[in-house]
Structure 1
């Protein structure tokens, strides 16, 4: 018997009449990196209603089972649905009571199948997911998009972060980074996104997973500086027609 057989089907029936046909309340970039002791992940806490930054306390990162954490860009309600899938998956796994538990690689594979399955039904879950974890000393970090595209890497960023934060990570990330240095790198990336992504806010949250388990830290605000010359008078920098 396929271990995952029937699980995804139990939480989404063909008789459902309500669909998320287009994203409404969305979150922006999620960044995940490997560091010396495990995985670190960060995201801001903004929730945009269309182009309006309506909510400023949305948590988009959650622990999954004993060994993993997940972060999501995109539609918030679809992320809640995905967490419902994962809750049922973990409960089903615990019911076996065989001393084993799902690791990050297994959960990442499961999410890949779920996202691709929903895409094939023309009813996608409008999220890009980052899944990180550590089990038996092996660190794992992967992503999966709303159409099932997936890969693993040492550092991952979604949304605008894939364009603006990844170059910084390629230059400055090191595999043996301490927790403190890894947090500083994530804050640098988030600050760059804050200045350039209209949907980003300076209130962020950091989550880590080590062999000891997951820790979700309290949100805090980044210090910002808006006195740059390019901000004061964009027209001097060649931005014709700007205010």
Structure 2
């Protein structure tokens, strides 16, 4: 049988742009981000795992980044799309600084910008495969919001992405209060991350916690949580389950 190459139409676009493709499905992804307001500012936590499909391929992926002077961004979902979003934000902050008018973008403005970016890409049927958490403090006002890959967004006193929406938010609703100290806020985030580690197969026991206040922001060095795996439900997870092996 004779195979011949099909002839390209004469009016097709040539050059690198004709072969350019975008993310059609997520490849390397990060799991939940959990964040809350505390007495002096915002606390945010995320582990450092990067999953290639169902394989935990990378174990040192930083998914929280400072944005400008007043904001902190955390992301779950596709890592390369998160890097693309960081490029957009670098351009935004640079353009804002070029005005040199003594003002700078606060977390509310950055969050609004991200909602427009995510919704715009969704309308082009070319979404950025991320769920984002944006927190910050400007002029004493704490701000915390989230936006999904299709542009759904809201503000709250505590937010989470991924499995955190199902497993961490109930804990936060029960235990969060307005006057949380830094130490109690960290303990609450660690409790949420420990539950996610037990229940989310994509989570790993290597995490960072970031803090942002009026004075500035810090992101902790990676560390591990103390865990306990001898619960009876872990030793025999199918016991009593109808229809299980």
Q: TM-score, normalised by structure 2?
A: 0.91
Aligned to 1:59: 62
5 Å matches for 1:202-213? 202-213=205-216
Greater radius of gyration (CA): 2
State the match for 1:36 in structure 2.
39
| Contact 1:46/1:201 (8 A) holds in 2 | yes
1:136 — aligned with what? 139
Deviation of 1:237 (Å): 3.9
Distance change (3 Å), C-alpha of 1:16 and 1:39: farther
Counterpart for residue 216 of structure 1: 219
Distance 2:150 2:238 in 1: 40
| Alpha-carbon distance between aligned partners in 2 of 1:16 and 1:91, rounded to the nearest angstrom | 30
The change in CA–CA distance for 1:217 and 1:238 in structure 2 (over 3 A counts) is same
Give the unaligned 5+ runs of structure 2: 1-16
1:159 equivalent in structure 2: 162
1:174 to 158, 173, 177: 177
Q: Secondary structure at the match of 1:62?
A: strand
1:234 CA drift (Å): 2.0
The answer to which of 229-238 and 56-65 deviates more is 229-238
2:112 maps to what in 1?
Answer: 109
- 1:240 deviation in Å? 4.4
> Structure 1 unaligned runs (5+)?
1-13
Shift of 1:16: 7.7
Aligned match of 1:127: 130
Structure 1 segments (4+ residues) deviating >3 Å:
none
For the aligned residues, what is the CA RMSD?
1.2
* 2:186 match: 183
Deviation at 1:225, TM superposition (A): 1.0
Counterpart in the other structure of 1:146 = 149
Task: Give distance in 2, aligned partners of 1:162 and 1:93.
Answer: 33
After superposition, give the CA deviation of every residue in 1:143-201 in whole Å (9 maximum; x if it has no partner). 00100000000000000000000000000001110000000000000000001000000
TM-score for the superposition, normalised by structure 1:
0.92
